[in-house]
Amino acid sequence: MNLLSARAGHWTSDGTGVTVILPPPGTVGSGEIRGGAPATREFALLEPTRLVDRVDAVVLSGGSAFGLAAGDGVMSLLRGRGLGLPTPAGPVPIVVGLSLFDASVAAPVRPDFAEGGRRAARAALDGAPFETGRVGAGTGATTGKWRERLDPGGLGMAEGRAGDASVVALAAVNAWGDVIGPDGRPLTAPPVLPGAAPAPPPFPTANTTIAVVLTDARLDKVACNWLAQSAHTGFVRALRPAHTRYDGDAVVALATGEREAPVDLEHLRAVTADVMAAAIRSTA
* Domain annotation covers residue 190: yes
Q: For residue 200, what pLDDT is reported?
A: 55
202, pLDDT greater than 90: no
User: Domain total for the chain?
Assistant: 1
159, pLDDT greater than 90: yes
Please report, for residues 45, 127, 165, the alpha-carbon distance to residue 31 in angstroms, rounded to integers and kept in the order given.
Answer: 9, 26, 20
Can you tell me the mean pLDDT for 43-60? 97
- Are the beta carbons of 118 and 102 closer than 8 angstroms? no
Q: For residue 115, what pLDDT is reported?
A: 98
Q: For residue 149, what pLDDT is reported?
A: 82
* Domain annotation covers residue 165: yes
Q: Domain of 190: which CATH number?
A: 3.60.70.12
Look up the domain containing 93 and give its range: 7-281
Banded pLDDT at 204 (limits 50, 70, 90): low
Separation of alpha carbons 102 and 109, rounded Å: 14
Separation of alpha carbons 221 and 45, rounded Å: 11
Can you tell me the mean pLDDT for 59-78? 98
Q: Which residues are bridge partners to 217 per DSSP?
A: 259
- Are the beta carbons of 170 and 157 closer than 8 angstroms? yes
Q: What is the pLDDT of residues 268-279, one digit of tens each?
A: 999 999 999 999
252, pLDDT greater than 60: yes
Separation of alpha carbons 12 and 116, rounded Å: 8
- Are the beta carbons of 267 and 160 closer than 8 angstroms? no
Instruction: Please tell me which residue, 145 or 233, carries the higher pLDDT value.
Output: 233
* Residue at 259: amino acid letter: R
Please report, for residues 4, 218, 219, 231, the alpha-carbon distance to residue 27 in angstroms, rounded to integers and kept in the order given.
Answer: 12, 9, 9, 18
Give the relative orientation of helices 265-281 and 221-238 as an angle to the nearest 10 degrees: 40
* Domain annotation covers residue 1: no
Supply the pTM of this predicted model. 0.94
Q: For residue 194, what pLDDT is reported?
A: 59
Q: What percent of the chain has pLDDT over 70?
A: 94
Q: What is the pLDDT of residues 93-103, one digit of tens each?
A: 999 999 999 99
Q: For residue 130, what pLDDT is reported?
A: 96
* Domain annotation covers residue 133: yes
